[in-house]
A = this chain, B = another copy of it.
Amino acid sequence: MKQKLSIVKIGGYLIEEEARLSKILDLFSKIEGNKILVHGGGKKATEIGNKLGIETKMSNGRRITDIQSLDVAVMVYSGLVSKNIVAQLQAIGINALGMSGADGNTIQAYKRPVKDVDFGLVGDVKEVNAYGIFQLLQVGFTPVFCALTHDGKGQLLNTNADTIAAEVAIGLSQDFDTTLYYCFEKKGVLQDIEDEDSVITHIDSKNYDVLLAKGIIADGMLPKMHNCFYALRNNVAKVCIGDDSMLSENNSNFTTLTL
């Protein structure tokens, strides 16, 4: 039987507020078995970028990563956010190791090809070095990934943290019985966006199409759902979406996705 592995992605305001972050790290530390944390850090990067006078460049609502923005992302994601999370996890007994995809060559990517838009130094994942991550888990480390990859030729690349979580989960599903948790600011996928208590507790391929057709899943939720089903179709056992309380043992009020 495969060993269990939990991959938890945290983002948005969960990592902006100190007390909230402490709470989620505490819940994460209590997860039994192998585990991996993946974090974003976008808001903090925007804040530091603004202070440094670096404009956030957008094209059709999508962020463009030029070399200056990448430097800020590297400083904030793999520096400020990663190392503070690692230090806090160490303080509660988790032997965390903060990593970008360049570290241990764990996640290689290629620069996104230019079609209508040149996104700049943005990477689409090419390969997850599952064996390298497996080795770290086996010797007792808990990898903490930020939203950065590399191209294997010396260039760091900005890669969406949700995507990194999905790709790492897929890469490790050959060796592990993997559950992927997407923690964000809502309790789950909501039937009614205005009603926090209207969590849809289970989504599978069948009712997903219905929810899409009804427009219940729309906007920012679409790429998240895309990542979830992409992971499920590639051997990830289970994907869960909810807020930090999803990691508590006695809570079942979140969205579970299966094929």
Residues on A close to B: CB < 8 A? 48, 51-53, 71, 74-80, 82-84, 86-88, 90-91, 95-100, 102-105, 132, 135-136, 139, 141, 148, 150, 152-156
Leading 4 A-B pairs by shortest Cβ distance: A79-B79, A75-B75, A91-B154, A75-B79
Chain B residues whose CB sits within 8 angstroms of the CB of A141 once the complex forms: 104
Tell whether A100 pairs with B78 under 8 Å between CB atoms, given A95-B105, A105-B95, A153-B91: no
11 contacts between A and B (CB under 8 A): A51-B52, A75-B76, A78-B79, A78-B98, A83-B156, A87-B156, A90-B152, A91-B152, A97-B104, A98-B99, A104-B141
> A75 CA to B44 CA in the complex, in Å?
12
Distance in angstroms from A57 CB to nearest chain B CB is: 19
Give the chain B neighbours of A78 by CB distance below 8 A: 78-79, 82-83, 98
* Residue in chain B with minimal CB distance to A54: B51
Q: Which residues of B contact A102 (CB under 8 A)?
A: 83, 86-87, 90, 96, 98
CA distance A132 to B142 in the complex (A): 13
